[in-house]
Structure 1
Amino acid sequence: MSNTNTRRSILILAFPDVQLLDVSGPLQVFASANELAAERGAPLPYAPRVIAAQAGPVMTSSGLALVADSLRSATKGTDTLIVAGGRGVYHACCDAGLTRWVRKQAGVSRRIASVCSGAFVLAEAGLLNGRRVATHWSRCDELAARYPSLHVEPDPIFIRDDPVWTSAGVTAGIDLALALVEADLGRAVALDVARELVVFLKRPGGQAQFSAFLSMQKAGEQFSELHAWMAEHLAADLSVCALARRSRMSERSFMRHYRAETGRTPARMVEQFRIEAAQRLLGETSWSVKRIAARCGFGSEETMRRSFLRVLCATPQAYRERFAAQ
């Protein structure tokens, strides 16, 4: 078996009332990378373990205890420090000794990361100042208010701002860990791990935490029928005039009520619906970009390209090359 000293040391920090999947999701990704390497007779790439303020059982918010090593067992040779999230994160932030350890350990680690509300611990340790940050969508406003020097972004599944990686909640920790594996070992290995875990599609960090359509269902009922119709008729005329007419409102009244109900303009919502539909088709079909642009109502490849660059920071072709199902 490979020498432990040649493997990348991965420390996942847990604390009482930690979210179980924030720990076990990333941990299994690294374990699966090791299992695949062992099957191929290759050196094991990772040495992952769970650590906590004290060695022994750490009770998660789900009631299942995790066995952790103590903080004192960490060495200067740590490759990656990952801080999990969960209900107990607020108490963790109040533990001056813990945040001091995180700050010190980050200084001797190649990279640091957080899953979900674990970003609060990194922020409390002063490690996120001036950086782009992701966290669970329900905690974005709170994180931004408590730490105003952070650039909190509510949509991405994860953000890489070297040497710091932050992710959204729960299952997004798996996406983050897969991205870390890809950065270390390449895309092919990361896809093999994703298949091993039966992850349907390796999601890009820039993908929204949830769809615009689901978001609007949550927002209220006033325009629910309109949104359902829009999603089914993306290539139709979805101008403000047409949508107002379908809603039996004047344009001015429609704009005012729509913005108040959804927090977005109709144009931005239409664009988001079309982008999400195009993402699915780029990932799941071999259709040409031109055909997808027409099917999703962009009108032209160039219009679709501009929307992708503005929202996803990638062209449709680049999105397909990187994230299409294999």
Structure 2
Amino acid sequence: MITVGLIAVPPMQLMSLAAMTVLQTANSLADDPAYRIELVSEAGGLVVTSVGFGVDTRPIGDARFDTVLVSAFAGTQAPSPSLAASVGRLAADARRVGSFCTGAFVLAEAGLLDGRRATTHWRQLSRLERAFPRVRLLRDRLYVNDGKFWTAAGMTAGIDMMLAFVEADLGEEAARAIAERMIMERRRPGGGMQVSSLLTLNPKTDRIEAVLTFAKKNLKTRLTVSQLADVAHLSPRQFSRSFHAATGQSPAKVVERLRVEAAHAMIVASRHSLDTIAAETGFADRERMRRAFLRVHGRPPQDLRRTARELAAA
């Protein structure tokens, strides 16, 4: 049985506990439970959560775990040196070490991320970079694996990382079955973008929402203004005005962002050539995809592919 210790750092973010549902579901789907999970803390006893109630923990003491995880925590307080020392001791004996969101600060304080690739929630990236310049931060990742060390971006990205753990431990079919049981639309690869274009657009009308959904499902096609206007049941002129009012951008600009997002996911999760990815995501050719990446990300897709290969090699 795989022993998993989740270190609760106060005030603990509840999404760290939610991510453990992946392992609980793995146990429920198997004839014999694969995981034994313990909630521990530096001193033991009740640990306050970010919503105010406490959770019971046992002291870290001389515990040993196959997998050590550090919870996310609210606020900007620096991890205590004693906690970092405890985490360092646990990590030395563990097969796998991970963190959720701000838990990466604890791993970094313990010196475990020096020279390693890592990530955290997009709102904390700059703070982590300033505090621990030796960490090689990756900004457009849901989770990062470097050796035995894993870091998740935070919130629901922790669920994606835990599914990756299950896939490594029990196989792809087990991870897929858990995602289905948890009613997840899809399993996201670690290289997915932290902030989705659809979320940031936040359209105010059902018509524009329907257009965005249609566009995302049909990126390989040409997607003209007239075609999108037909989906919205508006004339092209009315549609262009309504779309800009709802999103603050032109239809062409938004479609480009959606294509870049889709290409981004394919680059980090597949071995397809950049020419194939450009065709599959609706770019006329590789060069147009490169220019779009420069406009959206400030770097070409070749850089993203290079980073993905380095991570795979690591």
Q: Same fold (TM over 0.5)?
A: yes
2-side partners of 1:176 and 1:312: how far apart?
20
Which residue is equivalent to 1:248? none
Task: Find the counterpart in structure 2 of residue 321 from structure 1.
Answer: none
**Which of residues 84, 90, 104 in structure 1 aligns to 2:77?**
90
Task: Name the structure 2 match of 1:257.
Answer: none
Aligned residue among 114, 117, 134 for 1:129: 114
Instruction: Tell me, in whole angstroms, the C-alpha distance in 2 between the residues paired with 1:271 and 1:121.
Output: 38
Q: What residue number does 1:119 align with?
A: 104
Sort the Cα spacing of 1:108 and 1:88 in 2 relative to 1 into closer, same or farther, 3 A: farther
Partner Cα separation in structure 2 for residue 83 and residue 291 of structure 1: 39
SS in 2 for 1:173: helix
Partner amino acid for 1:59?
Answer: V
Tell me the CA shift for residue 167 of structure 1.
0.7
**What amino acid does structure 2 have at the position aligned with 1:189?**
A
Paired residue for 2:145? 160
Instruction: State TM-score, norm by structure 1.
Output: 0.67
Query: How many percent identity over aligned positions?
Result: 37
Residue from 54, 66, 82 that aligns with 1:79: 66
1:143 paired residue number:
128
SS for the counterpart of 2:77 is helix
Matched, 1:66 2:55: yes
Residue 241 (structure 2) aligns with: none
**In terms of mean alpha carbon deviation, does 10-19 or 292-301 score higher?**
292-301
Length, aligned pairs only:
255
State the TM-score, normalized to the length of structure 2: 0.70
Q: Are 2:95 and 2:148, in contact at CA under 8 Å, matched by a contact in 1?
A: yes
For residues 93-128 of structure 1, the C-alpha deviation after alignment (integer angstroms, 9 at most, x for no partner) is 1x2211111111110001110100100000000000
Q: Are 2:81 and 2:109, in contact at CA under 8 Å, matched by a contact in 1?
A: no
Deviation by residue 1:163-215 (Cα, 9 ceiling, x = unmatched): 11001111111111111111111110011111111122111000001124545
SS of the residue corresponding to residue 55 of structure 2 reads: strand
Matched to 1:9, the amino acid is T
Work out whether residues 19 and 162 of structure 2, in 8 Å CA contact, stay in contact via their aligned partners in 1: yes
Q: Is 1:21 the equivalent of 2:8?
A: no
- Give CA deviations for 1:261-318 in whole Å, capped at 9, x if unaligned: x9xxxxx99764313356899xxxxxxx99995684311489779989637649xxxx
Separation in structure 2 between the aligned mates of residue 208 and residue 152 of structure 1, nearest angstrom:
14
Counterpart-to-counterpart distance in 2, 1:274 and 1:54? 49
Residues 291/27 of structure 1: CA separation in 2 closer, same or farther (3 Å cut): closer
Unaligned runs of 5+ in 1: 1-6, 218-227, 238-261, 263-267, 282-288, 315-326
Name the CA distance, whole Å, in 1 between partners of 2:131 and 2:70. Answer: 18
| Local SS of the residue matching 1:201 | coil
Contact kept in structure 2, 1:85 and 1:117, CA below 8 Å: yes
Q: Which moved more, 1:53-62 or 1:268-277?
A: 268-277
Q: Secondary structure at the match of 1:138?
A: coil
Distance 2:10 2:75 in 1: 6
When the two chains are superposed, the root-mean-square deviation of aligned CA atoms in Å is 3.8
Q: Aligned in 2, Cα 1:99/1:180: closer, same or farther, shift over 3 Å? A: same
Letter in 2 for 1:169: G
> Residue in 1 aligned with 2:258?
273
Evaluate the alpha carbon distance shift between residue 162 and residue 270 of structure 1 in structure 2; reply closer, same or farther with a 3 A threshold. farther
SS at match of 2:129: helix
CA distance in 1, matches of 2:303, 2:180: 28
- Equivalent residue number for residue 234 of structure 2: none
Q: Distance in 1 between matches of 2:122 and 2:50?
A: 19
- The residue aligned with 1:310 is 302
User: Which residue pairs with 1:245 in the alignment?
Assistant: none
C-alpha separation in 2, matches of 1:69 and 1:292: 49
